[in-house]
Structure 1
Amino acid sequence: MAGPMHYSLPLPAFDTPVKLLAVASPYYKDIFDQQIAGARAICDQAGVELEVAEVPGALEIPTAIGIAARMSNLDGYVALGCVIRGETTHYDTVCNDSSRGLTLLGLQGLCIGNGILTVENYEQAAVRAQADGQNKGGGAAAAALHLIALSRKWGRTGKPVGFTATTLAKGGDTV
C-alpha cells in the first residue's frame, strides 16, 4: 500500500513582481545544491526571481533574514539548510533555536518558507532535498509565495518589523 497522498496548493499568481530571498547554509554542499535547485524550479514556475544569500549554518539563517527584512525591500524569504543528528545535544539546540527564530520572525509579519531539514542521518536528508523527489526546498519556496500572496491580499505591505519609534504622549517627540 502506498503512503498517504500529499496535496500541494497550486502556486499563486502575482500581478506585480515578487522579490524572494533564499537564505541558505551550504554546510552539506550537495544537499544545499538540491534545495536551491528545487526552490529555483518553483520560483521559475511562478515567474519569480530568487536571490540566494549563504550563511555558515542553520543558526545564522533567522538572523540573516531579520537583517534582510530591516535593510531591504524583499517580499519574502526561504530558509534552507540541513541539520543532521550527531552524538551531542547540539542537534536539539540548532533545530529548536533556528525554528524558533523563524517562527518569531513570521509572527512579526515576515513571509518565510522554512526548508531547514532536521534529520537523523544523511540518507534522510538526501531523499528530502532531491529536487526531482521530495523537493523540500521547492516546498519552502512555495510556502513563502503563498504567504506573500496572502499578505498582498490582506493589504498589509510595508509594515515595520521589530522595534519602531513611538510618539510620546506629552511632548510629541519620538524615541
Structure 2
Amino acid sequence: MAGPTHHILPLPDFDKPVKILIVASPYYKDISDHQIAGALAEIAKAGATHEIVHVPGALEIPTAIGIAARMGDFDGYVALGCVIRGETTHYDTVCNDSSRALQLLGLQGLCIGNGILTVENHAQAAVRADPAQMNKGGGAAAAALHLVALARKWGKAEKGVGFTRDILMAGDTIR
C-alpha cells in the first residue's frame, strides 16, 4: 500500500519583477544552508530576485520580517529556521510564538512562506531541509511566491481599518 500523495502547485508566472526576502536563522548552520539552497532554487525558477538576512534564532524571524515590511521594498518573505526539541518547555514557546507571529503578519497582508522546522531531532531536520529530500525551504519559497501572485491578482488597494487622518484645508467644510 502506497503512502499519501501530495499535489504540488506549479510555480506562478509573473509579468512584473518579484523581490523576496529570505530571513534565516543559522542556529543549526547545516540545516539552514540546505533550507536556503532549496529556497534559492525555487526563487530562481520563478525568475524572482532575493536578499538574505540572518538572525540569531527562530523568535527573531518574525520581527525581522516585520521590520523589512515597514522599511524595505519586498513582495514576499521566506522564514527559514529550525527548532529541535530539548529537555525543557522552551521548545514549545519558540515553536508556538514564532508560528503565531508569522501568522499574524500574514493576516496583515504580508506574503510569507513559513519554513521554520519544528522537529524532535537533528535527523528529522536534515531530511526536511535537504533539497533532494523533503525540501521544506523550497516549499516555503514556493508558498511565498504563490501568495505574492494572489496579492497581485487581487490588487494592492489599501483597505484601512479603524480611523483615518484627514487634513482640512482653509475653506473646507465638514459634512
Query: Same fold by TM-score, threshold 0.5 exceeded?
Result: yes
CA offset at residue 166 of structure 1?
Answer: 3.0
Aligned to 1:53: 53
1:20 is displaced (CA, Å) by: 0.2
Alignment of structure 1 residues 89-168 onto 2, 5 Å: 89-156=89-156, 159=158, 166-167=164-165
Q: Give the C-alpha shift of residue 151 in structure 1.
A: 0.2
Q: CA deviation at 1:112?
A: 0.2
Measured after TM superposition, the shift of residue 132 of structure 1 is: 1.2
Partner of 2:63: 63
Matches of 1:36 and 1:165, distance apart in 2: 40
Amino acid at match of 2:113: G
SS at match of 2:56: coil
Q: Which residue of structure 1 aligns with residue 173 of structure 2?
A: none
In the TM superposition, what is the alpha-carbon distance from 1:2 to its structure 2 partner? Answer: 2.8
Displacement of 1:172:
4.7
CA offset at residue 128 of structure 1?
A: 0.3
Q: Match for 1:113: what amino acid?
A: G
Q: Which amino acid aligns with 2:38?
A: G
After the TM superposition, which parts of structure 1 deviate over 6 Å for at least 4 consecutive aligned residues? none
Alignment coverage as a number of residue pairs: 169
Which letter maps to 1:166?
A: T
Q: What whole-Å deviation, never above 9, does each CA across 1:125-163 have from its counterpart, x for those lacking one? A: 000000111000000000000000000000026x499x9
Partner of 2:75: 75
Q: CA RMSD in A?
A: 2.0
Secondary structure of the residue aligned to 2:113 is: strand
Tell me: CA distance 1:153–1:134, structure 2 relative to 1, closer, same or farther (3 Å): same
Question: Is the partner of 1:52 in helix, strand or coil?
Answer: strand
CA separation of 1:160 and 1:67: change in aligned 2, threshold 3 A: farther
- In the alignment, residue 91 of structure 1 is paired with which amino acid? Y
- Matched ranges for 1:28-43 at <5 A: 28-43=28-43
Query: How far apart, in 1, do the equivalents of 2:163 and 2:38 lie?
Result: 40
1-side partners of 2:87 and 2:5: how far apart?
34
Larger Rg computed on CA atoms? 2
- 2-structure distance, mates of 1:148, 1:82: 24
Inter-CA distance 83–44: structure 2 relative to 1 (3 Å threshold): same
Map Cα deviations across residues 94-113 of structure 1 (whole Å, 9 max, x no partner).
00000000000000000000
Tell me the alpha carbon deviations over residues 71-101 of structure 1, each in whole angstroms, 9 at most, x when there is no partner: 0111000000000000000000000000000
- Any stretches of 5+ residues in structure 1 without a counterpart? none
Q: Please name the residue that 1:26 is paired with.
A: 26
What TM-score comes out, normalization by structure 1 length?
A: 0.91
Q: Structure 2: 5+ residue runs without aligned partners?
A: 170-175
